[in-house]
Amino acid sequence: MASLGRNEIFDAAVRVMLMQDRCVTVHFRGEEGVSIQFPTTRRLAEHLKVPHYYVLPYFAEMEENGLIRRVERVGISTTPAGTAVLVSLMASRYTAEAERVLGSRIFSELLSTVRSKDMNR
């Protein structure tokens, strides 16, 4: 079994969204900023070819570290910090796929939003 951690979970989430589902669900949360809906833990475990229970501690850690929020019967979405990680990963490793799914203008705006939030910290 390959080494698994937060970075691998985020990378798997990006690949599932952009290459399998070809769908990215973005939530605009006013003052809270932008969040992105994560694939389910079961879907990510399946993609990573690991048992479902194996990914759960990583999600607990990411929630503790303020990268995601889990809401019962709603799902998992990124916090502004998690959105920055996800969008930065898209920009550095999956630009063509992100532009294909989101469109270059939307992707550029998301990237700009993330970068401006980083600069304001």
Residue-level pLDDT at 119? 45
73 in a structural domain:
yes
Distances (CA, A) of 23 to 48, 73, 85: 19, 20, 18
Domain contains 1 = no
Query: How many folded domains does the chain comprise?
Result: 1
pLDDT tens for 56-108 read 999 999 999 999 999 888 899 999 999 999 999 999 999 999 999 999 999 99
Alpha-helix residue ranges (DSSP H) falling in 1-121: 6-15, 41-48, 52-64, 80-93, 95-102, 104-119
Specify the CATH number for the domain of residue 57. Answer: 1.10.10.10
Question: What pTM, to 2 d.p., does this model score?
Answer: 0.89
Q: Is 34 left (phi over 0), alpha (psi -120 to 50) or beta?
A: beta
Range(s) of the domain holding residue 27: 6-119
Residue with tokens 């973005």: 26
In a domain, 77, yes or no: yes
